[in-house]
Structure 1
Amino acid sequence: MKSILKCAWVMLWRRRLSSLLTMAGIAVGTGLVVLILGISNVGTTTIQNELESMGINGISVSSTGGLTGNCLAVIRTLPMVSKAMPLLIQYGFADVRTERYNIVGCGIDAGADQVISLNLLHGRLLRPEDVNGEAEVCVVDETLAKDAFGRTNVVGEKVAVLIGNEEIDMTVVGVTAADSSLLQSVTSMIPYMLYAPYTTVQFCAGVDTFDQIAVRVNNADNTEAAREMIDSTLKGIDDDIGVLSTENLATQRQHLDTLVSVVSAALTAIGAVSLLVSAFGIMTMMLSSVNERTREIGVKKAIGATKGRIMSEFLTGALLMSGIGALVGMAVGVGALTFACFVLGLHVQWSVWQLGGILLLTLLLGAVFGVYPAHRASQLRPVEALRHDG
């Protein structure tokens, strides 16, 4: 076995430039597959964590005609509903000193933390008197606090908020944690979150309806039944409600997970195709090697080398190229994605089974595409091979 391995290595070393290029192709294909699988794992885990941290659960109620206070009151009386909160989303600006920041003005009710995930760092959340009195107060996320004031505890500071045609000087009463590591890493591309009493946001936007009503049910098993009850009840009390939409967000999460899996599978297939193309390089290189070493093969067979021996040497060479290329590609792929996740503050978890499967697949491709050149070399007749001019 050692002699076969040595002969295979010498064969690759003689044509080291071609061997390196072939192994580089294998490394690129393998690294691409590793990156795609890793990104898929990170994406799936991150999306699930984001949905959890942002409170994407329960039921979301919306309507083309807008939802009124009467709709909210009716939903709150339903037996399976434990909490219902109006949501009004308006895009605007927050001016601090000489800087202007893009914000998502989220109009919420008191007790919003029971419906959506709000992890309070400093101060307090909104109170019933804030909502009832259209108070000019707000809760900001820590990313806005850090970027605008250079610190997280900005309770008591003033922020000039522009929503619609109204600009209001709001007092910061609380700061929430940016639990989403994904959102923290891309804050330059998305607006900051600012929470204010929904009545205040309604005044600024000049509306008296809500965009959505977020609903929590008393038992997760009752979510679909509660959704159907809300749908039928609201359609029966208001003819002007427009097109009503009630969504079970747990189901939406499942659909999103399925979509991520499909996209991941498609991208992995693309990576596998690139690996397959690289494997053709093994066959090309090995066939070229057979042609160059025809006389050498003839000499070996003339002094007693068997067909099996010749075939083993070439097949081992193919496996060496695919194995080395795969290991290099996997190392680069794992290292690159791990470093990127470290910089972005994301968590990546590698599956030994997945990495082992990629290595075995690459070796299998090397063996499959190395069989024909190895077989061709083993079938050379000594006399004809010795006559070859090379």
Structure 2
Amino acid sequence: MLENIRLSFQSIFAHKLRSVLTMLGVIIGIAAIIAIVSMIEGESEALKSNLVGMGNNTINVVYEDMSMMGEGYYSYTSHLTAPPVKEETVELIHSQPNVNGLSLYHETWSSGVFYQANMTYPQMYGVDQGYLDLFPITIVEGRQLTPVELLGKNQFVMLNEDARNELFPEGDALGKLIDLSGIPFQVVGVYTDKTTEDVYYYGDWTEPKLILPKGIWPLIAGYESPTQIAVQATSSEHIQEAGMMAADFLNADLSPADMATAMYSVMDMQAIAEEIAAYNRTFAMLLGGIASISLLVGGIGVMNIMLVSVTERTREIGIKKALGAKRHLILLQFLTEAIVLTSLGGVLGIAGGIGIAKLISMITGMPFMISIPAIIGSLLFSMVVGIVFGLLPSLKASKLQPVEALRYE
């Protein structure tokens, strides 16, 4: 077998241009399959990571209207009816082995924020330090609110870049006082929380946001109970488990009367993510099937060039048979050459596919992931192409009669 492989490489390198052109169909087919699968797998994993765990293994536990459960969306109850969360319950959730972090924060849409003649309707967040640990932001101007300021009744605010642009078209926001529900707040920082995934999935679209100290939230909104409870799991495998556990602890504090109208729950994002991943896999198989048509073309090219090779080496075959070479040895020699030819094309195609996926990722920002099963499957498939399309020329070579082969010019 090793001798056959050595002879195969000698034949391939003896006709370099012809061999490359022969492998081209296989190379293109394998490269297309690898690139498609890598991009779709990468996008699926990125989407799954952001959908299931917000990109950092975090899940939200929400206080949901019982009448809306199972409708496919969340309808939050009035913030005035949401019961306060006991400190003991917070500590109990935080002490669980699969919980890494916890934040009780507020989130709602503003009825209007003003600065002189400018106005915007941002999404408001009343947060503590735990929120900024779970959902880190990048300060582009000024500073971040301190842990002490976040818990106190400080009239400080951080704007994201969109809110800053709408309120301060000239760009100078730091130190200015904005009007929020009739209360002046001083802008101490401008931030961005847009990630690479956000750029890919949403493009340039963002929404105005502002971050307030959690301690002053009741003065703004008129209620103190958190509208969102974010739980960060220790790993992606425990996200859903951590969220459901937190919901159970929170529901244990509710009275039967409260649970009859509303209770804490988490959406099964894992199931949704798995459905999306299954759809993407099906889509990848469809595109891969289309790309594999070029493999068929490449296989026909291999068969054609192997028939040419058999014709060119007819006298060589006749000499080997005259010296006692058996039929199966001749067949194995040419079949090995076909397999080596397509396998080499498969290896080059795999390298090309990974390179194409990486290049697309660098240009567009789309995530990609190298799929080991796709690489192994592509390599095996290229070998099968060599066997299938190399069999006919190999049989032809093995059936040549020694006398006729020796007399061939």
Q: TM-score, normalised by structure 1?
A: 0.66
Match of 1:129? Answer: 153
Match of 1:213? Answer: 228
Match of 1:364? Answer: 383
1:326/1:362 contact within 8 Å kept: no
Is residue 316 from structure 1 mapped to residue 337 from structure 2 by the alignment? yes
1:311/1:377 contact within 8 Å kept: no
Match of 1:335? Answer: 355
Deviation, 1:3, is 3.8
Q: Which amino acid aligns with 2:30?
A: I
Match of 1:28? Answer: 32
2:307/2:393 contact within 8 Å kept: no
Aligned-partner SS, 1:69: coil
| Structure 2 unpaired stretches of 5+ | 66-74, 95-101
Aligned in 2, Cα 1:70/1:175: closer, same or farther, shift over 3 Å? same
Aligned in 2, Cα 1:44/1:323: closer, same or farther, shift over 3 Å? farther
Deviation, 1:128, is 3.8
1:73 is aligned, of 80, 84, 99, to 84
Is residue 183 from structure 1 mapped to residue 203 from structure 2 by the alignment? no
Q: Deviations over 1:58-95 (max 9, x none)?
A: 63333346143352325557473567735333288988
Q: Which amino acid aligns with 2:11?
A: C
Q: How does 1:230-241 map to 2 (within 5 A)?
A: 230-231=250-251, 233-234=253-254, 236-238=256-258, 241=261
* Distance in 1 (alpha carbons) for counterparts of 2:36 and 2:377: 11
Q: Which amino acid aligns with 2:195?
A: S
Match of 1:194? Answer: 210
* Distance in 1 (alpha carbons) for counterparts of 2:243 and 2:404: 77
Q: Deviations over 1:232-263 (max 9, x none)?
A: 5546244884x54511x7x64x5466456545
2:122/2:207 contact within 8 Å kept: yes
Deviation, 1:304, is 2.7
Aligned in 2, Cα 1:380/1:345: closer, same or farther, shift over 3 Å? same
Is residue 117 from structure 1 mapped to residue 135 from structure 2 by the alignment? yes
Aligned in 2, Cα 1:263/1:85: closer, same or farther, shift over 3 Å? same
* Distance in 1 (alpha carbons) for counterparts of 2:309 and 2:359: 44
Aligned in 2, Cα 1:193/1:15: closer, same or farther, shift over 3 Å? same
1:35/1:334 contact within 8 Å kept: no
Is residue 138 from structure 1 mapped to residue 157 from structure 2 by the alignment? yes
Match of 2:72? Answer: none
| Structure 1 unpaired stretches of 5+ | none
Q: Which amino acid aligns with 1:381?
A: L
1:286 is aligned, of 299, 302, 319, to 302
Q: How does 1:89-168 map to 2 (within 5 A)?
A: 89-90=108-109, 105-109=123-127, 113=131, 116-119=134-137, 121=139, 122-124=143-145, 126-130=150-154, 138-141=157-160, 154-157=173-176
2:40/2:368 contact within 8 Å kept: no
Q: Which amino acid aligns with 1:313?
A: F
1:11/1:317 contact within 8 Å kept: no
Aligned in 2, Cα 1:235/1:378: closer, same or farther, shift over 3 Å? farther
* Distance in 1 (alpha carbons) for counterparts of 2:303 and 2:359: 39
- What is the RMSD computed on CA atoms of the aligned residues? 5.2
Aligned in 2, Cα 1:362/1:34: closer, same or farther, shift over 3 Å? farther
Deviation, 1:211, is 9.1
Aligned in 2, Cα 1:337/1:283: closer, same or farther, shift over 3 Å? closer
Q: Which amino acid aligns with 1:246?
A: S
1:92/1:105 contact within 8 Å kept: no
* Distance in 2 (alpha carbons) for counterparts of 1:295 and 1:217: 69
Aligned-partner SS, 1:51: coil
Deviation, 1:16, is 6.4
Deviation, 1:156, is 1.8
Match of 2:9? Answer: 5
Aligned-partner SS, 2:340: helix
* Distance in 1 (alpha carbons) for counterparts of 2:377 and 2:88: 55
* Distance in 1 (alpha carbons) for counterparts of 2:316 and 2:112: 81
1:290/1:377 contact within 8 Å kept: no
* Distance in 1 (alpha carbons) for counterparts of 2:119 and 2:392: 67
Aligned in 2, Cα 1:235/1:259: closer, same or farther, shift over 3 Å? farther
* Distance in 2 (alpha carbons) for counterparts of 1:92 and 1:340: 42
Is residue 301 from structure 1 mapped to residue 312 from structure 2 by the alignment? no
Deviation, 1:105, is 0.5
Deviation, 1:188, is 0.6
* Distance in 2 (alpha carbons) for counterparts of 1:315 and 1:95: 77
* Distance in 2 (alpha carbons) for counterparts of 1:209 and 1:150: 33
Q: TM-score, normalised by structure 2?
A: 0.64
Q: Which amino acid aligns with 1:61?
A: Y
Q: Deviations over 1:6-57 (max 9, x none)?
A: 33455784486555344323332333334444545555667678432xx724
